[in-house]
Amino acid sequence: MNRTLLGFIKKELIQALRDPRMKFILFVTPIVQMTLFGVAISNEVKNIRLAAVFDSKDYVLRDVYERAIQGGWFVPAQATGATAADPFGLIRADKADAVLVPPPGGFTRALGRGDARLQLLVDATNVLQAQSVEGYIRQIVQETLRTDLGIAPPQPPILFDVRVLFNPSLDTSIFMVPGVMTMLMILTTLVLTCIAIVREKELGTFEMMISAPVSKSEVIFGKTLPYVLIGMTNLPLILGVAVFVFHVPMRGSFLALIGATLAFVCSTVAMGTLISTFCKNQQQSSMGTFLFMFPAIMFSGLMFPVENMPRSLRWMAALDPMAHYLSLLRNIMLKAGDLRALAPHIAILIALAVVSGIVSFRRFHTTLQ
Amino acid sequence: MNFVWRRAAAIARKEWFHIRRDPFTLALALVLPPVMVVVYGLVIDFNIKDVRLSVSDGDRSQTSRRLIETFGSSDYFRIQPVASPGAAVQDVTAERAKAALVIPPRFEKDLLAGRGAQAQVLIDGADNSTVGPVSDYVAAIQTLASERIAGGIGSSAGAGRTDFLTAGAGADLTPPYELRTRYLFNPELNSRWFVIPGLTVVIMAILSIFLTALTVAREWENGSMEMLLSTPVEPVEIIVGKAAPYAALGAVSVGFVYVIARAAFGVPFQGHLWVFGLGCILFLFTYLAQGLLISVVTRQQTIAMQFSMLTGMLPSNMLSGFVFPIASMPTFFWYFTMLFPARWFMVIARNSFLVGSSLAQLAGPFAALGVSCAVMTTLAVRRFKRTLE
């Protein structure tokens, strides 16, 4: 590596880290966020406010209700029992998420008559929650009938032994942590690179650099390599939180993880550089990175399943570096990294880095003239 | 302190010129939200289809074939036959399949002997967004397959396979009660009805923070702030004047989003437009004020940008109840998320589209939104004053 480039990198690092607030943002907030989001977010549905309409004689329904509350998925709604006279009103007024309504005369008597129709009203404004509620309730009613009345549902002739591989106890943080890691990694690298370059343009210091005896590649590498470095130093920080705080397993090889991260960071830094070539001032660059980041998060597979995107839009997910890095993290950390599965993702990340690198190299040339 | 509308209007006009001179920002603010709603409206669907299922059939009997057929004909799964159970697991590990079905060699014999035939289903637990739906589908298919196979064997009773039926294992699968679920407000569990109102909130939040976070910081960096300060204009007037044009932009783009949601995706709107509109205005001003606060505090665009990412983009995506349910979070977060106006507007937006409560019923979220709006604006003005001294 030549001396000019080294000097350049040094200058950029000093400039980026000069502000203590920036140091805080770069090295402390990822740890804090990792912890916060790792604890908070999950796809699991819990604490559903359940109400049930039952009188004192309807002991089966009362048992169903109590079992539901004890089970942990449900919490009692403010109004329940006989007071829940208006089940629709309860849901409409947002006092309950689900209400169990027995047939006239009560569920217990209806069971005796043999035409027990239990109605479950679910607030479906939250589709995800609504989907889970029915399954939960069905299971709870079945268990209650078995213990209260000795009615065992007939054993279905075909049984499935369902196992969730790699996370058998359905630990939420194991599900979510790789996604959060991906998001934090892209936040620092892409945004920072883009704005650092645009700032020089806006302040006019870029002109000065052109007049200095440095080549174009030295300018570009000098401007971008420091952010690759900064991105890489984030890895041990957030990996530490993942492994030591959340006990996410690290089953694969550490070397593969470093390689994957390097490919990812290079691709995001290159894409940040590419975005910067389209922006004249920092406000534009902030909008530009937002324009990139928002779809990148959406298509990453963290929030929504990317499985069944329309074919015409699937290329968007294929070009999303976050989606590939998330797959890589899941693969390396949870599945112990089959190299053949890793290779395509790493290849795409490298391709993204190279292509956006070349394009921004070209565009750099023209914008400076 | 005296607030003069004329001075605030002058600042607003000046800011408006800034925006007009920069067609890029203008286009982003107006075009981006509708485009995003269209794209995500098309793309986002929680009901996944064509899950790749690697199937290892160790039995190769009529029953096992019928079981596989049940999976294949369900629309949810796409069958990929493999040679051995090991290969099936390998497929899941290497991302060639999301789930695997392993049928043991004695499957049909066990079934006919009335012991209950057991097949193994392995689900890729590394992917948080698919585990839930896939296990639901598997449970549904278990019932379906049981009925079909029991029925199929019943119809071929002449072939001497009645022993399994008379053993009572699958004769009557209907439980002694019937659970009827009614999904209120979104009877077909349409993902789009759920996602699009939420998306409106997230996009507005991010856009308004980003639009304003750099405005004041830019003036500090360019040195034009000094000039502005030497004029008789008051801090409140600067804040209001700076926020107003962006609020107008935001309001127009909410309008676009509303039209698209209704016209292109058929999302119902049960509430009152003015309630939703009031919520929008409060929400926009809160986030614009937050953006300005960031700008005033940081005085530097690079840092302002990082701060808006941290306090605007991430919480409104992750902690607003957009996808990840707040009720499932630990108690601390139940209170912590109250700090984010996005959480409250999420309630108002979803309610306005799907439920349609009155303003009185939504008093809680509105009060919270009003408080955060007041707090943010006051903070922005206060901090602004202090930086002057």
- pLDDT for A266-286, tens place per residue? 999 999 999 998 888 887 888
Average pLDDT over residues A202-222: 78
pLDDT, tens digit, 9 for 90 and up, residues B33-42: 888 888 888 8
DSSP string, A77-116: -SS-GGG---HHHHHHTTS-SEEEEPPTT-HHHHHHHT-E
Among chain A residues, the shortest Cα distance to B44 is held by A304
pLDDT for the residue numbered A329: 92
pLDDT for the residue numbered B157: 38
Residue at B252 is within a domain: yes
Q: Are residues B200 and B130 both part of a single domain?
A: no
CA-CA distances (angstroms) from residue B326 to A44, A59, A60, B193, B317?
10, 32, 31, 19, 12
Q: Are residues B205 and B346 both part of a single domain?
A: yes
Q: Report yes or no: B130 at the A interface, CB cutoff 8 Å.
A: yes
Domain that holds residue B118: 51-166
Q: What is the pTM of this model?
A: 0.83
Q: Are residues B19 and B109 both part of a single domain?
A: no
pLDDT, tens digit, 9 for 90 and up, residues A128-156: 788 788 888 888 888 888 887 777 666 67
Phi and psi at A168, nearest 5°, equal: -60, -30
Among chain B residues, the shortest Cα distance to A118 is held by B179
Q: Are residues B335 and B374 both part of a single domain?
A: yes
Among chain A residues, the shortest Cα distance to B351 is held by A125
Q: Report yes or no: B171 at the A interface, CB cutoff 8 Å.
A: yes
For residue B308, the chain A residues in CB contact (below 8 A) are: 286
- CB contact under 8 Å between B333 and A39, yes or no, is yes
The per-type count for chain A, helices as H runs and strands as E runs, is 16, 5
Average pLDDT over residues A161-166: 83
Q: In angstroms, rounded to a whole number, what is the distance separating the alpha carbons of residues B323 and A301?
A: 12
Q: Are residues B88 and B14 both part of a single domain?
A: no
- CB contact under 8 Å between A302 and B129, yes or no, is yes
Q: What is the DSSP letter of B364?
A: H
CA distance A220 to chain B (A): 19
pLDDT for the residue numbered A84: 53
User: Which of B28, B48, B354 has the CB atom closest to A305's CB atom?
Assistant: B48
CA distance A197 to chain B (A): 11
Average pLDDT over residues A10-37: 85
Residue at B181 is within a domain: no
Which regions of chain B are under pLDDT 70? Answer: 1-2, 151-176, 386-389
Among chain B residues, the shortest Cα distance to A158 is held by B117
Last residue of a domain, one of B134, B166, B198: B166
Listed residue (A332, A322, A280) closest to A300, CA to CA: A322
Q: Are residues B338 and B232 both part of a single domain?
A: yes
User: Which of A124, A160, A331 has the CB atom closest to B142's CB atom?
Assistant: A160
- CB contact under 8 Å between B130 and A307, yes or no, is yes
Confidence of residue A1 (pLDDT cuts 50, 70, 90): low
Last residue of a domain, one of B150, B166, B182: B166
pLDDT, tens digit, 9 for 90 and up, residues B3-12: 788 888 888 8
CA distance A218 to chain B (A): 23
What does the mean pLDDT of chain A come to?
84
CA distance A349 to chain B (A): 17
User: Which of A91, A178, A297 has the CB atom closest to B317's CB atom?
Assistant: A297
Q: In angstroms, rounded to a whole number, what is the distance separating the alpha carbons of residues B77 and B87?
A: 18
Distance of CA B268 to the CA centre of its chain: 18
Phi and psi at A98, nearest 5°, equal: -150, 145
CA distance B263 to chain A (A): 20
Confidence of residue A369 (pLDDT cuts 50, 70, 90): very low
Among chain B residues, the shortest Cα distance to A117 is held by B178
Residue at B183 is within a domain: no
Secondary structure class of B80 (helix, strand, coil): strand
Residue at B176 is within a domain: no
For residue B171, the chain A residues in CB contact (below 8 A) are: 154
- CB contact under 8 Å between A304 and B133, yes or no, is no
Which residue segments constitute the domains of chain A, with CATH numbers given? 3-41+171-368 (no CATH), 48-149 (3.40.190)
Q: Report yes or no: B354 at the A interface, CB cutoff 8 Å.
A: yes
Q: Are residues B22 and B68 both part of a single domain?
A: no
CA distance B276 to chain A (A): 16
- CB contact under 8 Å between B302 and A137, yes or no, is no
- CB contact under 8 Å between B177 and A116, yes or no, is yes
Q: Are residues B347 and B236 both part of a single domain?
A: yes
Q: Are residues B25 and B64 both part of a single domain?
A: no
Residue at B173 is within a domain: no
For residue B350, the chain A residues in CB contact (below 8 A) are: 125-126
CB atoms under 10 Å from CB of A289, counted, come to 29
So what's the ipTM on this one? 0.79
Residue at B196 is within a domain: yes
| Residues B196/B267, Cβ–Cβ less than 8 Å | yes
Query: With pLDDT > 70 as the criterion, what percentage of chain A qualifies?
Result: 94
Q: How many domains does chain B have?
A: 2
What does the mean pLDDT of chain B come to?
82
| Residues B84/B60, Cβ–Cβ less than 8 Å | no
Q: What is the DSSP letter of A187?
A: H
Residue at B194 is within a domain: yes
Q: Mutation target for B interface from A164, A283, A287, A345: give the one with most B CBs within 10 A.
A: A283
Q: Report yes or no: B301 at the A interface, CB cutoff 8 Å.
A: yes
Q: Are residues B115 and B240 both part of a single domain?
A: no
Q: Are residues B15 and B158 both part of a single domain?
A: no
CA-CA distances (angstroms) from residue A158 to B60, B145, B150, B186?
16, 7, 9, 33
Secondary structure class of B373 (helix, strand, coil): helix
Q: Look-up: residue for tokens 């995001």? A: A268
Q: Report yes or no: B28 at the A interface, CB cutoff 8 Å.
A: yes
DSSP string, B241-300: HHHHHHHHHHHHHHHHHHHHHHHTT-----S-HHHHHHHHHHHHHHHHHHHHHHHHHH-S
Task: Give the pair of three-digit tokens for residue A12.
Answer: 């950029």
Q: In angstroms, rounded to a whole number, what is the distance separating the alpha carbons of residues B191 and B186?
A: 9
Residue at B178 is within a domain: no
Q: Are residues B325 and B366 both part of a single domain?
A: yes
- CB contact under 8 Å between A175 and B361, yes or no, is no
Look up the CATH number of the domain holding residue B145: 3.40.1710.10
CA distance B95 to chain A (A): 7
pLDDT at A367 over 90: no
pLDDT at A365 over 70: no
Q: In angstroms, rounded to a whole number, what is the distance separating the alpha carbons of residues B104 and B60?
A: 9
pLDDT for the residue numbered A95: 81
